[in-house]
Amino acid sequence: MNHRATSVVVAVSLGCLVAACAPSDAEDAVVPGAADSSPVESVPPATAGPDDGGQIAETAPAETAATDRPAGTDPAPSGSADTGSADTAPADTAPADTDPADTGPAETDATASGAGTDGPVPRLGRVAAAVPTQGATVVHVGWALDAPWTPLAAWTGSDWMSADGGDPLPDESFGAVAIAGVGLGNPLTGYGYGGATAAVCIDDRQGPLLDAGGSNQEFTGDGSYRAVGLAADWDVQPRGLRRSGFDSADYQRIGEAIVTAAGVDPAGGDVTDVVRADLDGDGVEEVFVTFEKITDGGGVPGDFVVIYARYPTATGAVTDEVLFEYYPDEWTSRPTIGRAGVLAVADFNGDAIMEVALWSKFWDTSLAELFVYDGATSLTSVAVSGCSL
């Protein structure tokens, strides 16, 4: 299989078909699912593209350039497409949403704070981040409320640490547990850790079981991670999420350029998800696009899945960054042939800036990866975890 990763070191757990990765500044390592996340600055094109998130006009040029592949890796190079934006800076208030009509999934406001606010949003400038909590919390991922939750990362009160790094995780500082996921709508609340644990992997790693506390909310996944849970005393989703732009010609063109740069034919690829969220509260939504081709009946060479981010600015510039790309080089089949998507966008350490979590699954192995935002044009991976199911 061909895939690329940044900021990870591969470790194989006994009896567990998973690449469990700790953050590192090392060169790319082979791991199912992650991608080169070197941002590419956009250049102004002749015409404007669709309006990203009801904020500013995005554009994509006819020609794109691939990013150089770091040395020491096997898969074919892939890169982010050069994209641009309108030449003029936006006004103090954002224009009305001009996304093309969608024929894919209906646009949804994923949280109450985003409900009914599809129109102009004032440009606030970047909101000064709150001080991150000095307490400790562990970020878990799960595929069902009644299943044990897999540790992904921990906020120690001052820094991030990977749950798979080998060091003991800190004790939780908070009691109430919130659960966030792009498919859940509003975060689920009213949960806690009851003290019981159970194995989350065949290597007998343990994860907590939730105490519902009388809540009747529930979700069930297909073995892929579907939500993120953490103990917190803050609003884990301070700004709303929404999903729209599935039929954007620009998003399609950028996806095709990324796949072409990897040496794969993009024919048959489609935009299958678009998640919009204002990560840092500056009034401009960042955009996360999933572009994929999966052959019915099983993955074959020529299939692919790519997740890329778009970072518009108030000046009209747009930077694109590939977060994940996967290209199988041999036939694979059930139970899962290799899929990925945006898992959650939420504030995992109380600083009012939202982090991004991705899920991926290959064969019977599920992975999750946590990214933190630099407030401008890049997300940095701080943890990867997962397990053979």
pLDDT at 222: 62
Considering the chain, what percentage of its residues have pLDDT values greater than 70?
Answer: 61
pLDDT (mean) for 253-271: 97
Q: What is the mean pLDDT of residues 46-69?
A: 38
What's the pLDDT at 129? 60
Q: State residue 265's pLDDT score.
A: 96
Per-residue pLDDT reduced to its tens digit, 86-134: 333 333 433 334 344 443 444 444 433 333 223 333 334 445 467 899 9
- Separation between Cα atoms, residue 72 and residue 12, nearest integer Å: 20
When the pLDDT of each residue in the chain is averaged and rounded to a whole number, the result is: 72
Q: Which two tokens stand for residue 344?
A: 């959650």
* Confidence band of 165 (pLDDT split at 50, 70, 90): confident
pLDDT in tens, 233-250: 999 999 999 999 999 999
d(CA 362, CA 360): 7
Res. 18 pLDDT band, cuts 50 70 90: very low
pLDDT at 352: 94
The angle formed by the CA atoms of residues 151, 112 and 379, to the nearest 5 degrees, is 45
Confidence (pLDDT) at 334: 52
369 contacts: CB under 8 Å, gap ≥ 6: 21, 33, 34, 324, 357, 358, 360, 381, 383, 384
CB of 198 closer than 8 Å to CB of 148 = yes
- The predicted structure's pLDDT at residue 73: 33
| CB distance 367 to 33 below 8 Å | yes
Q: Which residue ranges make up each domain of the chain?
A: 2-106+115-128+243-271+284-331
Mean pLDDT of 132-152: 93
Residue pLDDT, tens place only, 330-345: 776 554 557 899 999 9
Place of tokens 């009160």: 157
Q: Which residue has the higher pLDDT, 177 or 95?
A: 177
How many CB atoms are located within 10 Å of the residue 199 CB?
Answer: 12
pLDDT, average across residues 59-81: 35
Query: Quick one: which of 136, 173, 91 has its CA closest to 349?
Result: 136
